[in-house]
A and B are shown apart, each in its own frame.
Chain A
């Protein structure tokens, strides 16, 4: 088993290094190899998607057939999955029946979840006051309220000083928000580089066999 782990690591590190070096050094041979390797990743990602669907099906099949708690939802998911596969597979993805599923089932369901999300976010803001009442939470909530007031008119009334290029909303969005976001993004970028390098060095190996 250990020999396989070493082989997987060697393959991953070599491919990663070839793509990375090909990104920096403009040599024709490296460019071709990099392109070929990147093209291979497309069908691999598609297969991973199929594996994901198979995993989803298996987990819910087990729940539905085992009569576990809320198994009716799992049965409904399997039925919907199979019905969608049959309809889009038989008629094609742009056929009226396939689009009907998309327009009259998927979009309304996702829109409903979006509406629930608005309530969940408002609730989270209220809970924040209860759980972590400190200066930063107060600034966070006050900024949120100011941005809301500057984004949408309050009962049809446009508040003076909130809108326009020099309004409160624009000032917050363009100065402190951008400065803060750039600081965070800088840290995230460094963290991403560190993670990538650890994978290339074989330290992080989520793939070991």
Chain B
């Protein structure tokens, strides 16, 4: 059945998105005074806060690597989260002797990381301190990207490496380098095999969708917290729908 150019499946999809937006707006309104209230603790974000403070005090550098995902694909969301994290840490740590650097394995991510860094410097009135080399493209294939990221870790006095974006199993080369320099490694990705690698290789791995909670935990704005609460609610809706579907299928009703 097609209604106003909408087929049945598309109607469900569109309704789901609209429901998502409505929940986000409702949660943003309800929790506008205390957006971060009642969020469960994720140790990675607590350690990230400490790492930023430590880097500024000790004059070391924070390094964020955004992976080699394509922004126009399904891998783009985790890289966008990486850019949000970059913006938050750059705003705090740009006053440091060694401001944060970002590496990536995709041209558009490289451009965006430079833009984010420039805006962070401009927002604190220090745009003259901005250096385009702060946002680097380190390689354009998965292995060349991983290999090109290693000099940033070894040569730039990095005390913390944050990995946020799309990675493959080659991410172990980056975490190994970070481990060998004694740097703290915080990592999250949407890719399942890379999550398994990071669980073993990173000091603080983000499991599953925890990466997408970064904005809420780094105080990026009330809508970040609202979208996190919406994800929690809609996850339960989906779980119930799956269970209901399984029961109906089991009794051969559908």
Residues of A within 8 A of B72 (CB): 41, 45
Residues of A within 8 A of B154 (CB): 70
Asked whether any CB of chain A lies closer than 8 Å to the CB of B5, the reply is yes
CB distance from B142 to the nearest CB of A (A): 9
Residues of A within 8 A of B215 (CB): 198, 204
> For residue A181, which residue of chain B has the nearest CB?
B192
Asked whether any CB of chain B lies closer than 8 Å to the CB of A27, the reply is yes
- Interface of A: prevailing SS: helix
With A27-B5, A50-B107, A59-B133: A121-B208 Cβ-Cβ less than 8 Å: no
- Interface of B: prevailing SS: helix
Assembled-state Cα–Cα distance A113/B147 (Å): 8
Q: Are B108 and A187 in contact (CB under 8 A)?
A: no
Residues of B within 8 A of A206 (CB): 80, 83-84, 87, 112, 115-116
CB distance from B48 to the nearest CB of A (A): 18
Q: Which of A73, A127, A198 is close to B227, meaning CB atoms less than 8 Å apart?
A: A198
Q: Are A199 and B80 in contact (CB under 8 A)?
A: yes
> For residue A49, which residue of chain B has the nearest CB?
B107
A48-76 contacts to B (CB < 8 Å): 48-53, 55-56, 58-59, 62, 68-70, 73
User: Which of A92-100, A148-156, A160-168, A189-197 is found at the contact surface with chain B?
Assistant: A189-197
CB distance from A140 to the nearest CB of B (A): 6
Sorting the interface of chain B by its residue count into under 10, 10 to 19, 20 to 34 or 35 or more gives: 35 or more
Asked whether any CB of chain A lies closer than 8 Å to the CB of B54, the reply is no
> For residue A140, which residue of chain B has the nearest CB?
B199
> For residue B168, which residue of chain A has the nearest CB?
A117
Residues of B within 8 A of A41 (CB): 72
Q: Are A192 and B107 in contact (CB under 8 A)?
A: no
Residues of B within 8 A of A207 (CB): 112, 115
> For residue A77, which residue of chain B has the nearest CB?
B148
CB distance from B143 to the nearest CB of A (A): 5
> For residue A185, which residue of chain B has the nearest CB?
B192
Q: Are B209 and A193 in contact (CB under 8 A)?
A: no
Q: Are B208 and A208 in contact (CB under 8 A)?
A: no
Q: Which of A45, A185, A195, A203 is close to B77, meaning CB atoms less than 8 Å apart?
A: A195
10 closest Cβ contacts across the A-B interface? A52-B107, A191-B212, A187-B209, A48-B107, A124-B201, A192-B77, A48-B108, A194-B227, A52-B137, A206-B83
In the assembled complex, 6 residue pairs joining A and B whose CB atoms fall closer than 8 Å, in A order, are A20-B17, A26-B10, A113-B170, A120-B201, A125-B200, A201-B21
